[in-house]
Amino acid sequence: MTTRSRKTELAYRKQKKSIPKTTICKFCDISVGHKEFVEEGIHFKVIVNLFKYNYWDEQGVVDQVMLVPKTHTESLRTLPVEAAEEFLTFIGKYEEKGYSIWARTPSSPTKTVPHQHTHLIKTDGNRTKVMFYSRKPFILFSK
């Protein structure tokens, strides 16, 4: 289930359709100085999610970034031990700041970029009372 507003979801779908199949990985191109770059370690970088979720876990989203391996990989399973340790350090740092942690499997049909990325999502702590979602046509209503 998508948890983006209609406007953000439609922009996301439009962007997905515009990416040629032969394009170099979008996440591999992001580095220091890029508008989406937040911070980095030796093996990972944190980047902005341009198409943020509006809701997560029945709460409003106030911030969302993604933890991405610098080396192109589709799965965490292939990480060397040093990279896996750094991954856990980043996860712990963001978890301590109140971020939820979420990632899709490499085989997920809804995964847009075939480069492993872990979503770090900070919510406002206010649970929505009512939420209605329809995939086609896309509608997301919450109160």
Percent with pLDDT over 70 in the chain: 87
106 or 41: which carries more pLDDT confidence? 41
114 or 47: which carries more pLDDT confidence? 47
Domains of the chain: 6-142 (3.30.428.10)
Report the predicted TM-score, pTM, of the whole model to 2 decimal places: 0.82
Q: Is 48 exposed, middle or buried (0-12, 13-18, 19+ CB in 10 A)?
A: middle
Give the Cα separation of 117 and 34 in Å (integer).
17
pLDDT value, residue 36? 95
pLDDT value, residue 7? 80
In Å, what is the CA distance from 42 to each residue of 78, 82, 90, 123, 126?
16, 9, 11, 28, 36
The pLDDT mean for the chain works out to 87
Mean pLDDT of 15-24: 67
DSSP element (H, E) containing 45: strand 44-48
pLDDT value, residue 111? 78
Q: Which residue carries 């492993």 as its tokens?
A: 116
Which residues, in sequence order, are CB contacts of 70 under 8 Å at separation 6+? Answer: 40, 43, 44, 45
Q: pLDDT digits over 98-138, tens only?
A: 999 999 888 888 777 889 999 999 999 999 888 777 767 66
Q: pLDDT digits over 60-82, tens only?
A: 999 999 999 999 999 999 999 99
